[in-house]
Amino acid sequence: NGRGIPVGIVPSEGKPAVEVVLTVLHAGGKFGGGGYAVSGGLHGVGVSVVNALSTRVAVEVKTDGHRWTQDYKLGVPTAPLQKHEATEETGTSVTFWADGDIFETTDYSFETLSRRFQEMAFLNKGLRINLTDERESAKATAGADEAGEDEKHEVKSVSYHYEGGIVDFVKYLNSR
């Protein structure tokens, strides 16, 4: 995992940075002098667009020695950022429910997402990306053509982490 989206107050907005990132287009990680040294390359619109196009978003951030959470409904925070137990872990988890009134389909390809997240993990040395498909349809088929009775509660899940980054990507390509 990365260091986690910052949770400190953005002076110009009067809100926690994580809330600004999730609700303001082009906010990205550029807050004054610091922000992020590395970004995902979506010009600051990535997660704010996901939030705007979802019926619900749940964000969990582990940073500054604590776990923090905030939920959103139709792009709007449902409550202030909540500070929870102390932790030494860092990172960010965003869970979203795409709005079926906006999208023709909300059925995502696990394989397509998995490939994209693997590419992102290769490009961001040391980053860990976990993808879990918790849809009922995934639980029913969990890697099999037909699910047996004992397979119905499993979920598809992958984790990508490459300490070597691009070097690991080259090794991966050469192994194929």
In the three-class reduction of DSSP (H, G, I as helix; E, B as strand; rest coil), residue 130 is classed as strand
Mean predicted lDDT score pLDDT of the chain:
84
So what's the architecture of 1-104 in CATH?
2-Layer Sandwich (3.30)
First to last CA, the chain: 27
User: pTM to 2 decimals?
Assistant: 0.73
Contact 61, 92 (CB under 8 A): yes
pLDDT, tens digit (0-9, with 9 covering 90-100), for 60-115 = 999 999 999 999 999 999 999 999 999 999 999 999 999 999 999 988 899 999 99
Outline which parts of the chain fall under CATH 3.30.565.10: 1-104
Region of 48 on the Ramachandran plot (φ > 0 left; ψ -120 to 50 alpha; else beta): alpha
Residues contacting 57, CB < 8 A, separation 6+: 22, 50, 51, 71, 72, 75, 94, 95, 96, 97
